[in-house]
């Protein structure tokens, strides 16, 4: 763990190919940083003008649907969305690398502070620049479909 914010206990389960690829490496590093709650480590993976769309398009998490561009906006996304989870668990079923990108299929299970859980199944795309920094992260999942999985604390 790194930094004072790294207190979350999440996980990354990787059932996909282990074949080396720069975008796959960045995607795995991104998920690992989020799982352990390491905001500074996560932000360090992004190029200065990177774009995060999670989910892609308008949603309650991004009403404009334009995403979050630049490390300041991406950091604000962390603060308003990611930081509110008690833990995040990633399960990657498959991973397809091509060019400077990787598309991962899988599920993100969010545990909320009150004990409720929610699952977001989707396709998660990561693109890197020539130095291996993320220039975009685009998550294709349906907000209403994920909310339908919300299971309150028993």
Residue 59 included in any domain: yes
User: 58 lies in a domain?
Assistant: yes
pTM for the model stands at: 0.93
Q: Would residue 55 count as lying in a domain?
A: yes
- Is the model's pLDDT at 112 over the cut of 60? yes
Domain count, the chain: 1
* Inside any domain, residue 2: no
Question: Is 8 or 105 the better-scoring residue by pLDDT?
Answer: 105
Q: CATH number, domain at 28?
A: 3.10.450.50
Is residue 4 in a domain?
no
Whether residue 89 lies inside any domain: the answer is: yes
pLDDT class for 154, splitting at 50, 70, 90?
low
Between β-strands 117-128 and 87-98, what pairing exists: parallel, antiparallel or unpaired? Answer: unpaired
Q: What is the pLDDT of residue 2?
A: 43
Residue recorded with tokens 């209403």: 144
SS3 95: strand
For the chain, the average pLDDT equals: 94
Helix segments in 6-64, DSSP class H: 22-36, 39-43
Per-residue model confidence as pLDDT tens digits over 35-78:
999 999 999 999 999 999 999 999 999 999 999 999 999 999 99
Identify the CA nearest to 37 among candidates 13, 10, 12, 6.
6
Inter-CA distances, 146 with 10, 55, 112, 132, 141, Å: 19, 11, 13, 31, 8
Nearest residue to 133 (alpha-carbon basis) of 2, 22, 19:
22
16 has a pLDDT exceeding 50: yes
**At 80, phi and psi to the nearest 5?**
-90, -20
pLDDT band at 9 (very low <50, low <70, confident <90, very high): confident
The whole-number average pLDDT for the span 24-30 is 98
Sign of CA dihedral 137, 142, 144, 148: negative
Structural domain contains residue 118: yes
Tell me, yes or no, whether 90 lies in a domain: yes
The H or E element containing residue 71 is helix 71-80
Domain that holds residue 107: 11-147
- The tokens describing 122, both together, are 């989707």
Q: Six-digit token pair at 135?
A: 């220039």
Q: 61 and 143 in contact (C-beta within 8 Å)?
A: yes
């Amino acid at each position: 763990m790194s930094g004072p914010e790294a207190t979350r206990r999440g996980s990354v389960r990787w059932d996909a190919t282990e074949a080396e690829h720069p975008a796959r490496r960045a995607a795995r590093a991104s998920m690992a940083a989020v799982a352990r709650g390491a905001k500074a480590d996560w932000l360090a993976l992004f190029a200065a003008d990177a774009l995060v769309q999670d989910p892609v398009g308008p949603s309650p998490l991004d009403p404009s649907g334009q995403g979050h561009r630049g490390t300041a906006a991406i950091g604000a996304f962390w603060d308003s969305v990611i930081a509110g989870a008690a833990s995040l668990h990633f399960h990657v079923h498959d991973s397809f690398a091509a060019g400077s990108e990787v598309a991962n299929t899988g599920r993100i299970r969010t545990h909320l502070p009150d004990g409720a859980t929610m699952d977001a199944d989707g396709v998660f795309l990561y693109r890197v620049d020539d130095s291996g920094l993320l220039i975009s992260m685009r998550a294709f999942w349906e907000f209403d479909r994920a909310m339908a999985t919300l299971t309150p604390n028993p």
